[in-house]
Amino acid sequence: MAFTIGELGKATGTKVETIRYYERIGLLAKPERTSGNYRSYGKAELGRLSFIRRARDLGFPLDQVRALLSLSDDRTRDCATVDALARDHLAEVERKIVDLTALRSELSALLDSCEGGTVGDCRIIEALAPPATSGETL
Amino acid sequence: MAFTIGELGKATGTKVETIRYYERIGLLAKPERTSGNYRSYGKAELGRLSFIRRARDLGFPLDQVRALLSLSDDRTRDCATVDALARDHLAEVERKIVDLTALRSELSALLDSCEGGTVGDCRIIEALAPPATSGETL
DNA sequence: CTTGACCCTGTAGTTCCTACAGGGTGCATA
DNA sequence: TATGCACCCTGTAGGAACTACAGGGTCAAG
Ligand SMILES: [Zn+2]
Ligand SMILES: [Zn+2]
Ligand SMILES: [Zn+2]
Ligand SMILES: [Zn+2]
């Protein structure tokens, strides 16, 4: 029924240092200690850390995880805030996908255009170098 | 013909602090100084900083930018190394797109499944909470 | 001559961990 | 009992790529 920090880590896929870090920043409460000053965790902490990890896996940053945790405490409240948080995060993920997709096109166009040869002829370098105002070496 | 740091920043879309940062980490050489100890830049620095910025905009991390810069110096060399760098980076971008796309599906499925109501019924919270081993509040 | 925009240095903060260094603790084994 | 060894403790620093002060100088205009 009681875990050491290492066991809690194994159970949740979290490194020991990360758990201590979460404690330091107040995301996890300070747990009880054994006589030998080891942290001692129970089911409640396991649940809380699992929650945190799943939210992190979904890409929520820690401050949003914090918000989700405190929202989830009051089960009678309207879930609109939770949903808004998730919607915001989804929008952010979508923005990143758009950005990266544009990047991918640029990069692959660059790669397609390079035909090998010397750096002097490489289209990738050429694309990076500033527009030739007059013909001299960088 | 000579720019202040602010002018160089405006010309390249770079914050002044970022330029000083690049200098500190050796990505830009220490420029000349005016009598009043202001940094003074010329065309060459403008070109180099533009190169850096474009590479950054394409998502290359600074150490790869550094590598690209030093590769671009020797224009007679084979461009295979440049191309390999770009290919690696493209692969990385593609990995991120895959990850984010999976994330997007998960998030939007979650959002679709929530029908409003209280936090107690919210599917988003439910999906984050650990599998109910017995029915108690977190 | 004063105001304001700009510049200088140096340091600390951001995000989310991760990695030591320099110690204790707990359990098995020889 | 001594000795490993795996694990735990605290506290601090690093890493990526900036960003933001604080506490000053400099320069051009009015
Ligand atoms: Zn987000
Ligand atoms: Zn090439
Ligand atoms: Zn990359
Ligand atoms: Zn909901």
Say what the pLDDT of residue B31 is: 97
Query: Mean pLDDT across the stretch B48-77?
Result: 93
CB B4 within 8 A of CB B46: no
Query: Mean pLDDT across the stretch B13-36?
Result: 96
Place of tokens 């809690």: A8
Question: What are the chain A neighbours of B93 within 8 Å (beta carbons)?
Answer: 100, 103-104, 107
- Cα of B64 from ligand 2 centre, angstroms: 15
Query: Mean pLDDT across the stretch B7-29?
Result: 96
Delimit the domains of chain A by residue range: 5-73, 80-128
Query: Mean pLDDT across the stretch A82-89?
Result: 93
Query: Mean pLDDT across the stretch B120-129?
Result: 91
CB A83 within 8 A of CB B131: no
Say what the pLDDT of residue B116 is: 87
Residue A135 pLDDT > 70? no
Say what the pLDDT of residue B36 is: 96
Say what the pLDDT of residue A129 is: 85
Taking alpha carbons only, the member of B8, B50, B44, B9 closest to residue A126 is B50
DSSP summary character for residue B2: -
- Sorted by sequence, the CB contacts under 8 Å of residue A96 that are 6+ apart come out as B96, B100
Helices (H), chain A: 5-12, 16-24, 43-57, 62-73, 80-113, 123-128
Question: What are the chain B neighbours of A78 within 8 Å (beta carbons)?
Answer: 116-119
User: How many CB pairs (< 8 A) connect A and B?
Assistant: 174
Ligand nearest the Cα of residue B119 is 4
Say what the pLDDT of residue B132 is: 63
Query: Mean pLDDT across the stretch B120-130?
Result: 90
Residue B137 pLDDT > 70? no
Distance A39 CA to C15 C1' (A): 26
B34 vs chain A: nearest CA distance in angstroms? 23
Residue A138 pLDDT > 80? no
Interface test with B, best of A124, A126, A134, A137 (most B CBs within 10 A): A124
Nearest nt (C1') to A64 (CA)? C15
Q: Mean pLDDT over all residues of chain A?
A: 91
Tens-digit pLDDT profile for residues A93-132 = 999 999 999 999 999 999 999 988 999 999 999 999 877 6
**Position A133 confidence tier, pLDDT thresholds 50, 70, 90:** low
- Cα of A106 from ligand 3 centre, angstroms: 13
CB contact under 8 A, B78 and A111: no
Question: What are the chain A neighbours of B77 within 8 Å (beta carbons)?
Answer: 118-119
Residue A136 pLDDT > 60? no
Tens-digit pLDDT profile for residues B84-110 = 999 999 999 999 999 999 999 999 999
Domain A5-73 has CATH 3.30.420.610: no
- Cα of A37 from ligand 3 centre, angstroms: 44
B38 vs chain A: nearest CA distance in angstroms? 23
Buried b (16+ CB within 10 A) or exposed e, B125-134: bebbbbeeee
Query: Quick one: tokens of B56?
Result: 């950054």
Residue B40 pLDDT > 70? yes
Query: Mean pLDDT across the stretch B8-24?
Result: 96
Query: Mean pLDDT across the stretch A66-91?
Result: 93
Say what the pLDDT of residue A132 is: 62
How many percent of chain B have pLDDT more than 70?
A: 94
CB contact under 8 A, A59 and B119: no
Place of tokens 């909470």: B129
Query: Mean pLDDT across the stretch B114-126?
Result: 91
- For A123-132, B42-51, B72-81, which range has the lowest pLDDT when averaged over its residues? A123-132
Helices (H), chain B: 5-12, 16-24, 43-57, 62-73, 80-113, 123-128
Nearest nt (C1') to A5 (CA)? D8
**Position A91 confidence tier, pLDDT thresholds 50, 70, 90:** very high
Residue B122 pLDDT > 70? yes
Q: Which nucleotides of C are covered by protein (CB under 7 A)?
A: 6-10, 15-20, 24-26
Taking alpha carbons only, the member of B40, B14, B16 closest to residue B29 is B40
Query: Mean pLDDT across the stretch B27-41?
Result: 97
